[in-house]
């Protein structure tokens, strides 16, 4: 909500002037609306429709109205009515600006692409020198990269001057290759944090994946088929088809394997998408089309190892690990994020 208000400040000011011409004047309604916007931002609450919002957050809104009444020494009924007016106002504003999401995606992609990198190994004396393994994206201070843990090499031959590398988009020239080291890994959620050498890169912000709902429109950017067609970021868009467990209990013990057993002991939900992610997309950021905030990390191989054990041939369904687990890993590694 905070980003929404900041981004559309001029249009919102215009709407408020309409309210003023309708004689809805006085500083308290406006102040109440500003305070409510701050409240929504702190609680990371999004408007989708008025009925659901009022139903889900009735208690919180009552506390908010009471706090405003106590602060300004006015009746609870007065601020309760203001809360309702504000809810209607914000819902109307959200509906009014919802059309802009599609138009904003090109701007968001332009903002996201400089943060997309390739992950692999580099050895100057071999042909080809660069070995692309997965996509990654820059976060935090601009010197850390998130990718899939399963994509990292099991061994790097330092004796042959091979090293773990991060490739900047649009080429494998020496100046576009950064040395990387593994800071930490989370094998359970197939996530890895790398630290890169030299100057920082533009970083993406992590959003609130716990608020994502089925049917929500998202986008992801990465290198679908690696470097075959050049290291140029490609964007796909789709919806969250389902929020589904990473593993389904096997119908018989014959289908059990060590990986399945481990994930059955600590299950968690993943995003199932209707957009196709290719092998090179592993590690790509899944983000909100209007803000670019990352809410997931594309991952098909790791998820399908247990999600689709009942299928002889893996499906074309794409999955993503929620970004909340990236935050946990960053905290564990002692990396500060906004």
Q: Catalytic site residues?
A: 150, 190, 282
* Distance, CA of 249 to CA of 266 (rounded, Å): 12
Tokens 């996530």, residue? 191
Could you tell me the two tokens for 29? 């309604």
**C-alpha span between 33 and 53 (Å, rounded):** 16
What number of CA atoms fall less than 13 Å from residue 186's CA on the CB side? 20
- Rounded Cα–Cα distance for residues 223 and 233 (Å): 5
CB neighbourhood size of 99 (10 A): 9
The alpha helices in the chain, defined as continuous H runs, are 2-7, 9-21, 27-43, 50-56, 58-72, 76-97, 100-112, 258-265, 301-307, 324-333
Residues in contact with 79: Cβ distance below 8 Å, sequence separation at least 6, in sequence order: 32, 65, 66, 68, 69, 72
Write down the residue that tokens 């943060």 correspond to: 115
**Nearest-angstrom CA–CA distance, 253 and 192:** 31
């Amino acid at each position: 909500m905070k980003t929404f208000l900041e981004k559309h400040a001029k249009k919102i000011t215009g709407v408020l002037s309409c309210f003023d011409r309708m004689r809805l004047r006085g500083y308290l309604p406006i102040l109440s609306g500003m305070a409510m916007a701050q409240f929504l931002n702190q609680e990371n609450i999004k408007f989708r429709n008025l009925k659901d919002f009022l139903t889900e957050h009735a208690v919180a809104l009552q506390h908010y109205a009471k706090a405003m009444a106590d602060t300004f020494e006015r009746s609870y009924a007065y601020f309760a009515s203001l809360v309702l007016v504000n809810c209607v106002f914000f819902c109307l504003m959200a509906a009014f600006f919802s059309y802009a999401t599609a138009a904003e995606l090109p701007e968001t992609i332009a903002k996201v692409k400089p943060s997309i990198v390739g992950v692999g190994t580099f050895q100057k004396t071999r042909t080809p020198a660069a070995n692309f393994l997965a996509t990654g994206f820059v976060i935090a201070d601009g010197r850390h990269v998130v990718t899939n843990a399963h994509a990292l090499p099991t061994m790097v031959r330092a004796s042959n001057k091979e090293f773990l590398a991060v490739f900047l988009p649009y080429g494998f020239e020496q100046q576009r290759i950064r040395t990387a080291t593994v800071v930490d890994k989370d094998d359970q959620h197939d996530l890895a944090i790398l630290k890169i050498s030299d100057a920082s890169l533009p970083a993406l912000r992590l959003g609130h994946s716990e608020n994502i709902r089925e049917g929500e429109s998202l986008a992801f950017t990465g290198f679908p088929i690696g470097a075959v067609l050049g290291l140029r970021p490609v964007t796909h868009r789709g919806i969250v088809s389902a929020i589904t467990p990473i593993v389904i209990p096997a119908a018989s013990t014959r289908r059990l394997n060590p990986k399945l057993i481990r994930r059955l002991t600590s299950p968690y939900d993943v995003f199932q998408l209707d957009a196709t992610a290719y092998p090179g997309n592993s590690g790509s950021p899944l983000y909100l089309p209007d803000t670019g905030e990352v809410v997931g990390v594309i991952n098909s191989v790791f998820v399908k190892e247990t999600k689709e054990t009942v299928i002889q041939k893996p499906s074309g369904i794409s999955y993503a690990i929620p970004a909340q687990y990236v935050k946990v890993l960053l905290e564990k590694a002692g990396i500060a994020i906004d």
